[in-house]
Copies of this chain bind each other. A is one copy, B any other.
């Protein structure tokens, strides 16, 4: 299991007139969470793309428990529970400063090459993740 936490400060432009984070903006938070998780492994998603691997999202599930508010400092916890093969799954929890879980998400991404063909997870990513799973 690989777990990574990163922090995000809610921007004004991410709120809506209900006074909370607009529901569509959680996808940006998932993205920051997984990108920083990959960076913590010693890789960057930018490098993966430059080496010809693209990771489009194929499935998302989101559960809105409590609203996040402007200027909240959120913790985005990204968990990879199994070594990726054709897909990679991120389980995301979003917590506020009191460690209350506000939101949960599950994001599944596939791997594509530059021609848009489905491929397996690249070796460079598997090597970095391997030590967390044995």
A86 to chain B, nearest CB (A): 15
Which residues of B have CB within 8 Å of A124? Answer: none
Nearest B residue to A107, CB-CB: B23
Q: Decide: B16 and A13 in contact? CB cutoff 8 A.
A: yes
Q: Is the interface of A mostly helix, strand, loop or mixed?
A: mixed
A40 to chain B, nearest CB (A): 13
Known contacts A23-B57, A56-B64; can you find 20 more A-B pairs with CB under 8 A? A11-B28, A12-B16, A12-B22, A12-B35, A13-B22, A13-B25, A13-B27, A13-B31, A15-B16, A17-B18, A17-B20, A17-B70, A18-B56, A24-B28, A45-B71, A46-B71, A58-B64, A59-B62, A60-B62, A60-B64
The interface of chain A, by Cβ under 8 A from chain B, is 9, 11-13, 15-20, 22-28, 31-32, 35, 44-46, 54, 56-64, 67, 70-71
Q: Which 7 A-B pairs have the closest CB atoms?
A: A24-B27, A15-B17, A23-B57, A46-B71, A60-B62, A13-B22, A17-B19
